[in-house]
Structure 1
Amino acid sequence: MTAALRLALLLVIVLGGHAVPARADTTCTATAPTTLAFGTITNGAASPTNAMTSFTITCSTAALSILGSASVRACLKIGTGSTGTSVLPTRSMTNATADPMAFQLYTNAGRTTVWGAVPGGSPPAAIVTLSYAVPLITGGSGAQSVTLYGQVPAAQVLSAGSFASNFTAANVSLEYAYNESIIGTAQPPALCTTASGVSGHKTADSAFPFTVSANVLPQCSAYVTTDMDFGSNAGAITANLDRTSTIGLTCINRTAYSIGLGNGQNAQGTTRRMRFTAPDNSVYYIPYELYRDPARSQRWGTTVNTDTQAGTGNGAAQTLTVYGRAPPTTGAVPAQGSYSDVITVTITY
């Protein structure tokens, strides 16, 4: 009876001195992050725009023993995305017309370490190490939250539109190696890429798919107009007086705009008129009209998509010509003096 007890005790001591490899199975999965949304980005912004999102990696192991454990070394690899061709110096997302916006993904809040797809290389994949008990019957698991940090650099010349890049398939790959032990502490593998000297090694593509998004609003600025001068005329106007003026503006690329011209301060119905007030306060008018075309057949008004002038910004200054005409006068000869009117220019984008 005493010898049997000694033998059992000796067996426990021998087994307790080693982490015994197991033949269970470990599987790691990750939750899908929410969209990494940068929101609205201003063309030429003076400061970078930051955003972040998070997800959880969970590893589970089937039941081993009362003293069982598992340890995992996992590499979370992120590639170029659906609209990019490189990771460095920046990734790129695009709008519907393939205009680019640079951005980058990082593993740290200081945004100094680019999140790449090369385990142990440059730029490196993110590494997660999990160790947990794997008791008999229930098995065990471990989980860790991972934060993805993003940044859109400042001072970019951008186009208007909604931008996005999708990260799926091989662009979001999870590679991991693991050790399992039925007794004692399982040591984490030195690398996530090794299949030698470990309990197991696996790779899963499309492990944590997500989308990066941003929006650039249409924008116009730098408005410049020139006056329309019909010149001088002696007595009644007997032939059309045709003159031009210009409207200048600068809109970021892909900004659709529409320019409308009001009827002025002295209109009679839809007829524009220049006004002169004599010293005796009597009032005189000279009719005129404004057009969108050199033939002066398309009146320029204020109803969008009907009689306004449409255009699309290209990031540079653009100039539109206003075609004016003062037709021959009818009735009484206009009084001698200077006639004028003020037109309101409305730019919609």
Structure 2
Amino acid sequence: MRKRKLATCTALFAIALPVFAADTSVDVRANIKGICVIDSITAIDFGDLEQGTTAPDRNAPGSVRYWCTKGLVYSVTLGNGNNATGSQRRMKGVAVTNSAEFLPYDLTSGSPATGTGAGPGAPVTLTLTGSVRGADYNLLSVGQLLDTVVVTIAP
């Protein structure tokens, strides 16, 4: 009878052995995409320019507010506009009476041309100043003038 008990105990012991599982791991990943976003733009508007024997030179402010992903190195460039001749920016007449006329202007930026992004919580304002000479607009016909300058903010 003793043999039977021993056999039964051995069988129960074999059934009670734990089953071991293999360890594995799962990677969890993300990538923060580097982007720059323009939040708002304030146009450069010279308003009404009045001709006269001593028409004054005029300046007008404008701005572009933007942000770039934190840590992203970026650069800001200003295009020459749609009506440039060489590197001289020009506004073009949009009314029938002055559609073939151009008003030269200068555009300067008060901000650095490069930077490092600080994220959406820290936007940057690119200050712009446009200027026209009285001697240039004193020669033009009545009507509105317009140009569009592309501002590029890129990594």
Q: State the TM-score, normalized to the length of structure 2.
A: 0.71
Change (3 A) 1:331 1:314: closer
Q: How does 1:93-112 map to 2 (within 5 A)?
A: none
Residue in structure 1 matching 2:26, options 149, 155, 158: 149
TM-score, normalised by the number of residues in structure 1: 0.34
The equivalent of 1:312 in structure 2 is 116
Aligned equivalent of 2:10 = none
| Residue equivalent to 1:253 | 70
Task: Please give the residue correspondences for 1:18-97 in structure 2 after superposition, counting only pairs within 5 Å.
Answer: none
In the alignment, is residue 218 of structure 1 matched against residue 34 of structure 2? Answer: yes
Which structure has the higher relative contact order (CA within 8 Å, separation 6+)? 2
Amino acid in structure 2 at the alignment position of 1:276: G
The structure having more radius of gyration, on CA atoms, is: 1
Does the CA contact (< 8 Å) of 2:92 and 2:103 recur in 1? Answer: yes
Moved beyond 3 Å, runs of 4+: 214-217, 236-239
Secondary structure at 1:337 match in 2: coil
1:227 is matched by which residue type in structure 2?
Answer: A
Give the number of the structure whose residues are more often helix, by fraction.
Answer: 2
Deviations 1:44-93 (A, max 9, x none): xxxxxxxxxxxxxxxxxxxxxxxxxxxxxxxxxxxxxxxxxxxxxxxxxx
Kept in 2: contact 1:248–1:320 (CA 8 A): yes
**Change beyond 3 A, Cα 1:265–1:255:** same
The change in CA–CA distance for 1:311 and 1:288 in structure 2 (over 3 A counts) is same
Q: How does 1:156-305 map to 2 (within 5 A)?
A: 215-235=31-51, 238-280=55-97, 283-293=100-110
The unaligned stretches of length 5 or more in structure 2 are: 1-19
Counterpart in 2 of 1:182?
A: none
Q: CA RMSD in A?
A: 2.8
- 1:311 maps to a residue whose letter is G
| 1-structure distance, mates of 2:57, 2:110 | 16
- Quick one: distance in 2 between partners of 1:260 and 1:342? 14
Amino acid at match of 1:260: T
Partner of 1:32: none
Q: Which has the higher strand share?
A: 1
Tell me, yes or no, if the aligned pair for 2:49 and 2:137 is still in contact at 8 Å. Answer: no
Structure 1 residue 151, shift from structure 2 partner: 2.9
Distance (whole Å) between structure 2 residues aligned to residue 320 and residue 282 of structure 1 = 31
Partner of residue 321, structure 1 = 127
SS at match of 2:84: coil
Distance 2:68 2:137 in 1: 45
Q: Whole-Å Cα distance in 1 between the matches of residues 24 and 61 of structure 2?
A: 60
- How many residue pairs match? The answer is 133
- 2:60 & 2:137 partners in 1: Cα distance? 23
Q: CA deviation at 1:148?
A: 2.4
